[in-house]
Amino acid sequence: MSGQNIQTATIAGGCFWCLEAPYQRVPGVISVISGYMGGAIDNPTYTQICSGTTGHAEVVQIKFSPEKISFEEILDIFFILHDPTQLNRQGNDIGSQYRSAIFPHSDEQLKQAKAKIAALNQMGEYAAEIVTSIEPLATFYRAEDYHQDYYDTNSQQPYCQIIVAPKLEKLKRYLQGK
């Protein structure tokens, strides 16, 4: 990887397990780490995040090679994998920790995120307005080890079968259509 241009994207779209597993399977993605961002306390724990009182979102931080995948494609996948019209929830996961958010790492990412949301709204891609927030980049806190590679180590767990596996199918259809 020496000499390769590597960029970072940080996004929130419900439970981080639901984003981690699909992005781990995207060509050009180098790594995906589950964590927390956007809250008021340092070094939050999962228990604190679940209380919904810290202000953090469950996020994934994605390292990617822009020569193989663009930030715009990262966003395309993001909007396929979750419902960006649900405020502070995804399905039965309810609370601000499950909000839909983009944390741009550069002015260019900020510009692209705003343009993507505007374009999707204008096209009427969803039945309701997109509520995905664009939030200032903040300190990324890596989630506890048992949250990392969660689907790959717990694929038979009911949540993974019912919630995560269908997202992998959505990703597969997207990648086949490219």
User: What pLDDT digit, counting tens, does each position of 124-136 carry?
Assistant: 999 999 999 999 9
Residues present in the chain in total? 178
89 neighbors 95 (Cβ within 8 angstroms): yes
pLDDT at residue 37 in the model:
98
pLDDT at residue 173 in the model:
96
Q: How confident is the model at residue 3 (pLDDT cuts 50, 70, 90)?
A: low
Q: How confident is the model at residue 13 (pLDDT cuts 50, 70, 90)?
A: very high
State how beta strands 100-103 and 133-134 pair: parallel
Q: Taking the model in full, what pTM does it have?
A: 0.95
Say whether pLDDT at 83 is over 60.
Answer: yes
Tens of pLDDT, residue by residue over 138-175, are 999 999 999 999 999 999 999 999 999 999 999 999 99
Q: How confident is the model at residue 1 (pLDDT cuts 50, 70, 90)?
A: very low
Domains of the chain: 7-172 (3.30.1060.10)
The more confident residue out of 104 and 91 is: 104
Q: How confident is the model at residue 178 (pLDDT cuts 50, 70, 90)?
A: confident
From residue 171, alpha-carbon distances to 80, 163, 176 in Å are 8, 13, 9
Determine what percent of the chain is predicted with pLDDT higher than 70. 98
State how beta strands 100-103 and 7-13 pair: antiparallel
The residue among 12, 174, 169, 172 whose CA lies nearest residue 88 is: 12
Say whether pLDDT at 2 is over 90.
Answer: no
Q: Based on the number of CB atoms within 10 Å of its own CB, is 151 exposed (0-12), middle (13-18) or buried (19 or more)?
A: buried
State how beta strands 7-13 and 133-134 pair: unpaired
Average pLDDT, the chain: 96
Spatial CB neighbours of 8, under 8 Å, sequence gap ≥ 6? 61, 62, 63, 64, 105
Active site (catalytic) residues: 15
Sheet arrangement for strand 141-142 = 133-134, 100-103, 7-13, 57-64, 29-37, 141-142
Side-chain-facing half-sphere of 123: CA atoms under 13 Å: 8
